[in-house]
Structures are given as C-alpha cells and as structure tokens.
Amino acid sequence: MNLANKQHQNFLFFISFVAILRLTLAPFVGLGVDEAHYVLYALNLDLSYFDHPPLVGWVQYIFTSIFSTSEFGARVAAIIIGFVTSIFIYKLIYDINKNTNQAFIAVLALHASFLFNALFIMLMPDTLLFLLILPIIFTVIEIEKNDRLSTWLLLGLLLGLAGLSKYTAVLFIVPIILYVLLRRRYDLLYTQNIIPSIVLALIIILPVIVWNIQNDWSSFAYQSAHVVGSNSINWNGFASSIGAQFGAYNPFLTPLAFYGLYKALRSENSTIFLTALFGFVMILFFTYASLYKTALPHWSALFYMLFIPIGTFYMLQISKKYLKFAIGFGLLLSIIAYAELGFKFIPLPDHQSLHRDIYGWDEIMKRANEQITDANTEAIAVTNWTLASRAIYYNRNYDSAVYLVDDRDDQFDVWEKEKPLGKDLVIINTHSFEKNINKYMKCSEVIQYNKFDIMLNDSKVNTIQLIRCKNYQGLK
C-alpha cells in the first residue's frame, strides 16, 4: 500500500485533520486522573511501576522533555499514536480487497466510537498497545511466509515492547500459538530462529522483572487482584461492565464488533483470521474477568479497536444505511464532545459537569498553597488515590509537597520516601471525595477553612473544603 497514491488522499486528509484538531484542543483541557498519573511516571523515572510496566512513563518522558510537561506536551504522543494506528487499521481493511472507500469507512467507524476519541488524546498503556498489535499480527503473517531471523527478531522486539506496555500483553502469545497450530505450521515452533526472538523479548521486559524482584513482586500481585478481584461471580457488576462498553464505544457500532469477530473467524484471509484469534482471546479473557470484578470500558479497547472496523467492513455488504446512521451518530456526538471540551458551552446542574474531573485543579492547588507558609513543616494532602495524581501534577511548580494519606498500597507509597508525621497538613476535600478528618486522622487540632466552588458557566463543577490537620500523627 503506497499512501502517496492519490486514491488514499481522502483518508490522509481525514486523519490529518483529526490529528490537528486534537493538537489544537490539547492545551485547553485539564489532565484526567490517568493522564496525570502517567506524567508523574515521566517525572519519576524507574525500571517499572507498581500498577503498570514502564513504557508509558518512558514515552511520556521523551515527549514531555521535548514539549514540556504541560497539557499539550502530555498529549502529543497519544495523538501521534492515534494517527499511526488509523493507518494500520486502514491497511488491515484495504488489504482485504484493495477498496479504498471501504477501508476509509472502517476508519471513520473507529473515530465514531466515542472512547477512542479520548484514548487517542490521552496516553495510557492501552494506547501503546494500539500501536503495537497490528504490526505484531502483520509480522506473524510475514513469518508464516518467510521464516527469516530478521522477521523473528522484529516479532521479539514488538512483543517485548508490548510487555513493557501492559501486563495483559501476555495474552498475545496465545493467539499466535493457536494460529500456528490451526495452520499446521508446526515447523515454526521448532525453527532455530524462535530462540533469538524469545531471548530478545525477555531482555526487553527485563526492567519489569528486576523491579518486581526488588519490590517483592508487588506489581504482579496488584494486577492479579486488580483484574480478577473476587472469588464469587458478581452478576450486577458483569451487567454494568457490558452496558458500559456499549455506551463507551457507540451503542450502534459496538454490536458490529461481535459480528466482525464472527465473520473474521470464518475468513480465509490469513491476516483477518489471525486478527480474529487475537480478538477472541482478548474478549474471552475480559468477559471472564468482568464476571468477578466490574471491568472498566477501556480494558477491552483493543478488541473494539480491531473489530469495529472489521465489523464495519462486513456490514458494508449488508446495510450501508445502518452504517451511515451509526457512523453519523457517532461522529456527530464526537464533534459535540470536542466542541464542549474546547468551548465549554453545555449547561449542566451543579456537580454534574462533564468537566468535573479535568477542570479547576490549577485553582485548587493555588488555593491550597496559599495556606502554606513554611514548606518544611507544612504540606498538602489528599485522602483518595484518584485525587493524588492531579494534585501532585498541578502542584509541580510549587515548593510544597503533596501526600496521599490513606491505607491503600499503591504507586504513591513508592514515591513517598517518608511519611508526613509531625507536619501540619492542608487536606483537600472535594465534592465527590469527602473525609471526616476528625474521625480519619490523628491531629492535635483540626481547622476548617471556608469552602469555595469551582465555577463554570454559572454552575458548580466542584466544591472544595480545605482542612488543616495540625501535627499529623497518622490514621485512626
């Protein structure tokens, strides 16, 4: 596929326009919980981290070093990945029958799926896997055609990088083995080229192993509990997980992913069939996991990233009218969402704003620091991990320290080399996360400051209560 050919110009114009739109919007939207957390990875470089492998932090370090740790710098990498991933999806569909219009429509469907408009602007471990999964699939198909050492080494490199991105990348090995067995290419399991590939992949993920050895395997333990966190089935949580996926990706396009999986499993196209094996393994795993722990919508993003476009391709043979509506609906809502992020014009009731997680943290940290007179004896604190990443990120230009004061083991315990015992803490209570400090902490005295509101369009986005805990001595 030569993208320089004129036949691909509509596709290139579209993804270029979307990338420019995202780059333009990026500086004007505050960082969310996960975004800020992975920028903190970059500000605290390590071999690996408590909750995820290190590649997301390393990539953020490179891009924030070039573009600064601002909101814009924190989002450049994800926007580039969204651009390149769109090219891979286009190639996947185009290679089926060399139809540029059908490949373009498949990419439109991807961008009409709501959550991808967020994941292609927020750098997360899942975003990195978007960039890697199709090159891995293409490389396996190339190995089937030509058993060359260079191609095996490329596969080892890609799988190693996937392992540095997210622990669930270990699932990628399963469909590759299944494919080799189903194709009866047993020779590929015994080729001498497989050994250097495995060694290279292991060398690449060595930082994760070393970090876990140094930290009592805490990351592996956390992830196993995080994905499957219960011994009994939670049917309500399972229903919530399924419903959230339909809402997050586009209720009219989500069913197409499963139709696409069905058709791809029956396909004679090797690349599409291998992709189907990847999709089947991933959706089976996350469906099983959601039986025991309510799954976040982005956990299954790789599946939908592959199969909404594939399902769209197959649906083009059945009903273009349905696709026109489903894609049009998704693009329209996505445009409205982008416009709202940029111009903030939709009126909503108090504390129900779409911006409640991403707006006002610069003001919150400014107000909190106004209560600090001596950074050696005073500090700022939050009582919930979801507040900690944003508080620390938006406090990065102040002299004061920010602590997460809770009884949960997480990455913040690794970063906090000492506890703030004996210090006066200025606690940030938000509308969604309030703690009764008198009952929660041991303090010589508790002083409540006046509440203040974070306002937007004459509505309250958040309500903040600053509370001073004098001479903090731990939790009760």
pLDDT given for residue 88 in this prediction? 97
For residue 281, pLDDT over 80 is answered with yes
pLDDT at 384: 93
**Residue 370 and residue 315 share a domain:** no
Q: How far apart (Å, rounded) are the C-alpha atoms in residues 74 and 61?
A: 9
Tell me the mean pLDDT in the region 434-458.
93
Q: Which amino acid is at 362?
A: D
Judgement on whether residues 393 and 264 belong to the same structural domain of the protein: no
Residue at which a domain ends, from 294, 314, 342: 342
Among the listed residues 74, 7, 67, 65, the one whose alpha carbon sits nearest the alpha carbon of residue 37: 74
- Contact at 8 Å (CB) between 157 and 197? no
Distance between CA atoms of 402 and 187, rounded to whole angstroms?
57
Written as one string, the DSSP assignment of 339-370 is: HHHHH------TT--TTTTTSSHHHHHHHHHT
Burial tier of 397 (Cβ tally within 10 Å: 0-12, 13-18, 19+)? exposed
What is the average per-residue pLDDT within 217-245?
Answer: 77
DSSP letter for each residue of 13-71: HHHHHHHHHHHHHGGGS---HHHHHHHHHHHT--S--SSS-SHHHHHHHHHHHHH-SSH
Do 203 and 297 belong together in one domain?
yes
Res 323 pLDDT > 90: yes
Res 228: pLDDT: 58
For residues 425 and 338, membership in a common domain is answered with: no
Specify whether 85 is located in the same domain as 52: yes
| pLDDT for res 91 | 96
Report how many domains make up the chain.
2
Three-state DSSP at 99 gives coil
462 is a domain residue: yes
Q: Which residue has the higher pLDDT, 1 or 354?
A: 354
* Structural domain contains residue 347: no
CA 150 to chain centre: 31
Q: Are residues 331 and 374 in the same domain?
A: no
Q: Are residues 156 and 279 in the same domain?
A: yes
**How many Cβ atoms from other residues are within 10 Å of residue 418's Cβ?**
7
Say whether both 386 and 416 belong to one domain: yes
Q: Would residue 133 count as lying in a domain?
A: yes
The answer to whether residue 184 scores a pLDDT higher than 60 is yes
Residue 373: what pLDDT?
Answer: 94
Residue 330 and residue 379 share a domain: no
What is the chain's mean pLDDT, rounded?
93
283 and 422 assigned to the same domain:
no
Span 121-139, mean pLDDT?
Answer: 96
52: containing domain: 6-342
